[in-house]
A = this chain, B = another copy of it.
Amino acid sequence: MTYCVAMRLNRGLVFAADTRTSAGNDNVATYRKLYYWRRPGQRVIVLCSAGNLAITQSVVSLLNEKLVEDLSPGAESLFTVPSLYRAARLVGEALREVRKADGADLEASGSSFNANFLFGGQIGDEAPRLFHIYPEGNFIEATDDTPFFQIGEHKYGKPIIDRVVEPNMRLGEAAKLALLSFDSTLRSNISVGLPIDLLIYERDSLDVRRQKRIEADDEYFRKLSSAWSEALRSAFANIEEFKV
């Protein structure tokens, strides 16, 4: 499995994705699931993927081919579309192309066509936007009411985000929240694993300036994890016991 989370805040966007893939318990590997494309000063586009790796990698390959004039003459690409909505449509089209190629055989073997994407960024004068793209190729957009999306193993890490997320958070706070959500997920589900790829996009920067791969020995993450454990245990101890 996978866990990815992204937030759309007033100050920009935060993306985090784990890197564990497994085709059975004896076939576990590390694959990057966070991708980005940028033209500094013009646009930044970020994609996080969950689901069948053959599908999600094919989608990224198709998106990349479109960037190369020789491979896709005259095609719209992530570097030419005028809005993030149009960019999300390109991802949807790529997904449908992969489904056309592989869907029937996946179905014949009893596998579902499983691929979800978090997709966001900023193009020119538009405000930063964030989408959740479904396996069918359609998508929804984050709003102030619901400023975050999760894909993959999302349930363990949802309660803390539900309680804390606010569109007016600082980006460093939101990154802390994303990592706490990961910490709960990592503890409760072995199909999600370190390292975590983290990307913080500052509104109107139109460039990627803050990103980090968080490894198992990352000092900040280890401190966060132990401070959180301690805080939870002490909060638990301080609440009155149940009496009937």
- A residues with CB within 8 A of B: 153, 155-160, 162-164, 170, 172-173, 175-177, 179-180, 184-185, 187-189, 198, 200, 210-212, 220, 223-224, 227-229, 231-233, 235-236, 238-244
CB contact under 8 A between A170 and B212, given known A156-B156, A164-B232: no
A198 partner residues in chain B, CB cutoff 8 A: 242, 244
A227 to B237, CA, bound (A): 12
Check if A187 sits within 8 Å of B164, measured CB to CB. Answer: no
CB contact under 8 A between A163 and B177, given known A235-B231, A240-B224: no
Q: Indicate which residue in B159, B163, B187, B235 contacts A162 across the interface (CB closer than 8 Å).
A: B187
Query: How many subunits of this chain does the assembly comprise?
Result: 2
Q: Indicate which residue in B157, B159, B175, B239 contacts A176 across the interface (CB closer than 8 Å).
A: B239
A241 to B185, CA, bound (A): 20
Q: Indicate which residue in B177, B188, B224, B233 contacts A155 across the interface (CB closer than 8 Å).
A: B188
Check if A236 sits within 8 Å of B188, measured CB to CB. Answer: no
A153 to B156, CA, bound (A): 11
Q: Indicate which residue in B155, B160, B223 contacts A240 across the interface (CB closer than 8 Å).
A: B223
Quick one: closest B residue to A183, CB to CB?
A: B159
Q: Which of A188, A224, A229 has the most CB of B within 10 A?
A: A188
A242 to B180, CA, bound (A): 11
Q: Indicate which residue in B172, B211, B239 contacts A231 across the interface (CB closer than 8 Å).
A: B239
Check if B159 sits within 8 Å of A187, measured CB to CB. Answer: yes
Check if B244 sits within 8 Å of A170, measured CB to CB. Answer: no
Check if A232 sits within 8 Å of B160, measured CB to CB. Answer: yes
A84 to B207, CA, bound (A): 63
Q: Indicate which residue in B160, B164, B238, B244 contacts A200 across the interface (CB closer than 8 Å).
A: B244
CB contact under 8 A between A242 and B175, given known A231-B235, A232-B164: yes
Across the A-B interface, the 7 shortest Cβ-Cβ residue pairs: A155-B155, A231-B235, A175-B242, A172-B241, A159-B184, A210-B244, A158-B188
Kindly provide the distance from the CB of A124 to the nearest chain B CB, expressed in whole angstroms.
25
